[in-house]
Amino acid sequence: MKILAINPGSTSTKITLFNNHKAIFTSSITHPIKKLESFAKIVDQYEYRKRLVLKKLTKAKINFANLDAIVGRGGLIKPVESGVYHVNDLMLHDLKIGYSGEHASSLGGILAQDLAKKTKHPENAFIVDPVVVDEMEDIARISGIPEIPRISIVHALNQKAVAKKYAKKIHKKYSELSLIIAHMGGGISIGAHKKGKIVDAGSGNLGEGTFTPERSGSVPLGSFLDLCFSKKYSYHELKTMIVGNGGLLAYLDTSDVRALDTKIEKGDAKTKLIVEAMAYQIAKEIGAYTTVLKGKVDAIILTGGIAHNKRICRWIKGRVKFIAKVVIYPGEHEMQALADGALAAINNKIPIKIYK
């Protein structure tokens, strides 16, 4: 089976062609921030990104007629169960309007559906474990303000991929384990996994949890409310304080963790304080999710791009290793997870779910 996986991120679009489970071509297209800022909405980036994807695939001499399926990263649709979903008209509508908000991942399903028309199986357009996978327990939904329930927006695809990878390594099933998983990238999400379900997770793009390279995380609400009514900032400016211009970027004028690590190595005290504070908050969140699992944690997994940074992982591990074994799976395992999910669905090993 030839499966093309597409993963739109905030400043890149990754594409990988698989022959069954093996990647045979991969490429990452970087998008200049100034170019992306020229689009009013993320969905408006669609034709621009599609054109670049097609150019890259044409150059690699990839023939769409030979493809069996196209699978995209799932975006901000309605809350759904974990699984593989066929991209239908309702999903396309909800991706385009931003049913649960705006994020580049929403372009994944749109690209998959459109490009699948060029293949020998136009019906085989899928998404896998979108960011709105909702397996939260009812008690976790209560926020303190009835009009604002807590919702799950989490890096479900990568979190579940590394959970299954770890389970396989120790010869157990994902459904047998209790894990705390921290996906650490431009956005950071931490999930409590109990017996194969993410029973609680913070929604970083709504201002929950730890601050990240570009997001504010939880802040004192009273003080933020004062900012809202100070007339100093527009709605858009306040929104980007939460997502886009918050976190490391707000303090240190860059969200590039590698560049900041170099400054720490050279003895920059302020940079060290702020980056270590991010690690501190990640560790604190992991500690909080330990209570969700009542202290019975089989392992803590650190993953995502920041997991490549040994200094940050060391800081986190130093604070949480008393809870459980800390396992590190650097980088994102999303492309493989997309292909594996689509392949399992095509081969009838798992059901293809219908978005309703």
Phi, psi of 232 (to 5 degrees): -85, -25
Tens of pLDDT, residues 48-97? 999 999 999 999 999 999 999 999 999 999 999 999 999 999 999 999 99
Homologous superfamily of domain range 138-324: ATPase, nucleotide binding domain (3.30.420.40)
pLDDT at position 102 is: 86
Report whether pLDDT(222) > 90: yes
The helix-helix angle for 106-116 and 89-97 (nearest 10°) equals: 140
Provide the whole-model pTM: 0.92
Query: Is residue 318 classed as helix, strand or coil in its secondary structure?
Result: helix
pLDDT at position 103 is: 86
Tens of pLDDT, residues 154-170? 999 999 999 999 999 99
Tens of pLDDT, residues 294-322? 999 999 999 999 999 999 999 999 999 99
Distance, CA of 212 to chain centre = 13
* Band of residue 248 on the pLDDT scale cut at 50, 70, 90: very high
Phi, psi of 110 (to 5 degrees): -65, -45
pLDDT at position 34 is: 86
Distance, CA of 23 to chain centre = 21
**Contact in structure between 255 and 214 (CB atoms under 8 Å):** yes
Please provide the average confidence, as pLDDT, over all residues in the chain.
95
Closest residue by Cα to residue 112 from 21, 45, 50, 29: 50
Q: Return the biggest CA–CA distance within the chain.
A: 58
Tens of pLDDT, residues 4-20? 999 998 788 999 999 99
**Contact in structure between 218 and 207 (CB atoms under 8 Å):** yes
Query: CA quadruple 31, 14, 216, 213: dihedral positive or negative?
Result: negative
pLDDT at position 40 is: 87
Measured between alpha carbons, how far is residue 301 from residues 83, 159, 310 in Å?
A: 21, 9, 14
* Band of residue 105 on the pLDDT scale cut at 50, 70, 90: very high
pLDDT at position 326 is: 98
CATH of domain 2-132+334-353: 3.30.420.40
Report whether pLDDT(202) > 90: no
Per-residue pLDDT, averaged over 16-36, amounts to 93
Q: CATH 3.30.420.40 residue ranges in the chain?
A: 2-132+334-353, 138-324
